[in-house]
Structure 1
Amino acid sequence: MGDYFYSSDLSTDGESASRALERRQVDNSKLRTFLQAHVRNGGSVSGSDALRRRLPELFEKHEANFIAMFQGTTVSVIIDETIDDRSKSVVNVLFVQSARTGNAALQPVLVEVKFVDEVNSTVIGRIVTRTLTRYGVEFEDVSGFVSDNATYMVKSFKECIKPLCEGAVHITCVAHTVNIVGSTLQASFPLVDKFVACMKKAFCLSSRKRAFYKSHLEECGVQYAKAPPAPVQSKWNS
């Protein structure tokens, strides 16, 4: 299997989780020396072979605890899409149990991590419904759906999630909205705007510099090296 173990879906099963281990990192002599010197009980960190044997069993217990935790409870679903260091789309799904008392602290739990080739309303709807089914959460027990206010997220809730989870309400994060409003301030700071544009021109928009950056990553041993991803702002509301 080589030195690198990669899983396209870390939350599918324990075997997939064990395949996500990178042998040269876990067994790296410099890393282990650092752990022993600077981390309490760092010498007890298992090697990749031991982790590969143990992770499937630990994963099954961990998943069973989650299933028991959400049985018969009302939950809200938090979903967010990001990219990993290989510019691959990653969808994170979290469950939050409804507070039993007014003073109870809400505790979000990461229950699913999906690596996908593309992200759209259909993909988001499919991931949410399958995750709810997997953990035995009834559709009528979903009280909220929390996401950013990207067009595909809004569409996914209206067309895919709301028809099944009729009692759910869609709550959109205001951070991106504030960012959009804040972008209108660019006109008031022309010097800063020009500086950012020059930096983008010097690096992001230069194919030669992007190629140099990619070759640098390859020289450092990075597999599947890619050019820097596009800024989030350019992808927003796509």
Structure 2
Amino acid sequence: MRKFLNDKLINGGAIPGFHQLQEKYLGAVYEKEKEELKTLLAGKPVAVIFDETPDVEGRCVLNILLAPLKKDHSGRILAYLADTVFLEQCNHSTVSVAVVKCLQEYRIQNEDVIVFDTDNAAYMKKAFKSALQALYPNSLHITCMAHIMNLIGNAFHKPFVQLNSFMMSFSQMFFNAGSRKRRYLCFMTNKLPTKKVTMPPNPCATRWNSWFYAVQYHREYFGLYKEFIEMETQVCGRSVPQSVERLQDMLQDPNLPQSLNVQINIMADKCKHILNLLDIFESRRPVTTKIFNYLEDLQVVFAANKEMQYEVCDEYFKEFDLPRRTKTEILRTVGEAYVNAEEKLTKYMSDGQPAIEFLQEVRVFDPRHITFLDDSVESYKAIPGFTDVPRHEFDSYFTALGPAALRAALSGVVDLDVFWDGVQERLPVLSSLAHRYKDAVSNSADAERSNSIYKLVLSSRRRSTTNQNLKALVFLCHNQRILSGAFEREEREKGKVIEWEDMEEWEDMDIEGEGMEDDE
């Protein structure tokens, strides 16, 4: 094309080369956006969110995000990607050094760093304890609540061996099988002409919520699977894949299909508490003052259900003629699931979550909770600076202003932003602390999202990008999506159904699933 233009047009050779955007414009745009982000963050209390991921080049990549603890017009806390760091080694020392350098570059004052959000890896906890805690005295370390809830969910469904095997085989049946997907959708559409049928969600260990969405999907369509598998076996002839063979063996068993149906129905209902909390904790809307109550309520649910397996599951057996032995085995599995989930939850309500005492005490900033909390300033040691609150401010809040706001709230829910803005003159110290800590970010979900964007930018087919250009591209892509609301639009469009994707991590699924909890 260039040769043709050079030959046929005057000044045809002045057409920019393919590298023009990256060499001439990308760097300038990146620096401009970076300066605007520094201005946005200046003087504001921030949450620091960071997470590490491997890339296709075998490097350790640390994405560091900064979130000003000020809600936007829709009540969200937005986390902006500040830096992408390529680490020679990934340990507590290299991570803490990278985070400190990033905060210094963005001119974030030490006292303005309120919270560090990471996953539950042991080296992340050590990075805070050995370095970051001393440098940033007002800061807290909160390990991602969505990550913790996902681990509790994994513990909950792990005892259902037959159900897990069925779901894995069903998903593997469609891996790199476009024609089978088309036959499946055509079959389901013919059977259910009034419904818009989608592919089943992929129960991937690295995708939070997906297992529970998948089991809810299977509850709706399980009755049609046997016919489809029989049809698929005939279509494949001698080249039937192992996943289809396994499904055929399961669905032709005299008792197993009914047993699977019961297990699917039980799990689809009983997982709702976990699924709801996963959605809440993944959200950008802060729920810091509610987290401990959510965990206590979930603990009550687990404790009650583990002691009442038959009572809570009796309704699921009525439609099926199962042997007593099979029923007993299902009830035993349900009990084991609740015991596992309760043990995991109990761990994170003690020392597993380093900020659990803070999450328990921060409820003091919500007037709804003060009736049940200690009325002594000295009792709130996990909130930095709280012991400096004047006694008269604390007493005025506990005895007068807090109860008055609660009585005035028509729905019984106090708008905390309005309340603490309104009492700022009368309770200056307490109000300042409330504004700093009541909306502390409690998840690192945005860091996980930035990792996904990084892997989209640096795919296995695009590996020649320089590190500097790669940092700029990921920075611009992530922050543009944050500001434009692209993530929220995708979540609304997706709803409760996760569209099928040809995931490359099937072979590594067990390894990645175990790696999510590095401290065990």
Q: So what's the TM-score if we normalise by structure 2?
A: 0.30
1:21-170 alignment, distance < 5 Å: 47-99=18-70, 104-170=75-141
Deviations 1:7-26 (A, max 9, x none): xxxxxxxxxxxxxxxxxxxx
Separation in structure 2 between the aligned mates of residue 233 and residue 86 of structure 1, nearest angstrom: 22
Q: 1:125 Cα shift? A: 0.7
SS in 1 for 2:107: coil
Deviations 1:33-92 (A, max 9, x none): xxxxxxxxxxxx983223311122222212221222222221110111122233422111
* Contact 1:75 1:142 (C-alpha < 8 Å) held by counterparts: yes
SS in 1 for 2:134: coil
Unaligned runs of 5+ in 2: 1-15, 173-459, 465-504
SS in 2 for 1:60: helix
Q: 1:176 Cα shift? A: 2.9
SS in 2 for 1:170: strand
* Contact 2:118 2:124 (C-alpha < 8 Å) held by counterparts: yes
* Contact 2:66 2:80 (C-alpha < 8 Å) held by counterparts: yes
* Contact 2:45 2:69 (C-alpha < 8 Å) held by counterparts: yes
- The structure 1 residue matched to 2:143, chosen from 172, 179, 201, is 172
* Contact 1:186 1:193 (C-alpha < 8 Å) held by counterparts: no
Q: 1:170 Cα shift? A: 1.1
Number of the residue aligned with 1:234: 514
Q: Does 2:463 correspond to 1:183?
A: no
Greater relative CO (CA pairs within 8 A, separation 6+): 2
Q: So what's the TM-score if we normalise by structure 1?
A: 0.61
Amino acid at match of 2:159: A
Amino acid at match of 2:514: S
Q: Percent identity?
A: 25
Compare the two structures and name the one with the higher helix fraction: 2
Amino acid at match of 2:111: E
Amino acid at match of 2:60: S
Separation in structure 2 between the aligned mates of residue 61 and residue 73 of structure 1, nearest angstrom: 20
* Contact 1:121 1:152 (C-alpha < 8 Å) held by counterparts: yes
* Contact 1:87 1:229 (C-alpha < 8 Å) held by counterparts: no
Q: 1:174 Cα shift? A: 2.4
Q: 1:161 Cα shift? A: 0.5
Q: 1:93 Cα shift? A: 0.6
Between the two proteins, the alignment pairs up a number of residues equal to 171
Separation in structure 2 between the aligned mates of residue 157 and residue 46 of structure 1, nearest angstrom: 46
* Contact 2:71 2:77 (C-alpha < 8 Å) held by counterparts: no
Q: 1:181 Cα shift? A: 2.7
Q: Structure 2 vs 1, CA of residues 194 and 119 (structure 1 numbering), >3 Å: closer, same or farther?
A: farther
Larger Rg: 2
Q: Structure 2 vs 1, CA of residues 100 and 187 (structure 1 numbering), >3 Å: closer, same or farther?
A: closer
